[in-house]
Amino acid sequence: MLRSRPVVLTEVSYKNVISRIAPSVVSVNVEASNTENRIADTKKDYNKQAEIYNQYRTTIPGNFFAYIFDFPPAQYIGLDEDVEVPPLNLDVAGGGTDSAGEG
């Protein structure tokens, strides 16, 4: 006969699964943060080079070449762009709240 044991085993198994998944979730969060930092650093490097290029276009002799070959000014990226990033909800414990913390 089956007793209430399977419920207890299911609960223990769930906790076991959560304990195995939690480090992976932390790892994903760390990787996402590192990727965002690399993107921000690359944007800063690009904007520095765009500034150097634009300064060269406005000084002699660069302005002659820019005029003759019709070089356009470099556009800066990430300065006036408002990018909406969707929230990432990785709540593996099932707290019952949505990404905004409302429940």
Residues in the chain, how many?
103
Per DSSP, the residues of 75-95 read PP-SSS--PPPPP----TT--
Question: Which pLDDT belongs to residue 52?
Answer: 93
Question: What integer is the mean pLDDT of 82-100?
Answer: 60
Question: What integer is the mean pLDDT of 67-75?
Answer: 90
Question: Which pLDDT belongs to residue 91?
Answer: 66
- Domain spans of the chain, in order of start: 24-73
Task: Return the residue matching tokens 């002799």.
Answer: 61
Question: What integer is the mean pLDDT of 66-82?
Answer: 81
**Which pTM does this prediction carry?**
0.55
Q: In terms of pLDDT, which residue wins out, 85 or 21?
A: 21
Residue 6 pLDDT level (bands cut at 50, 70, 90): low
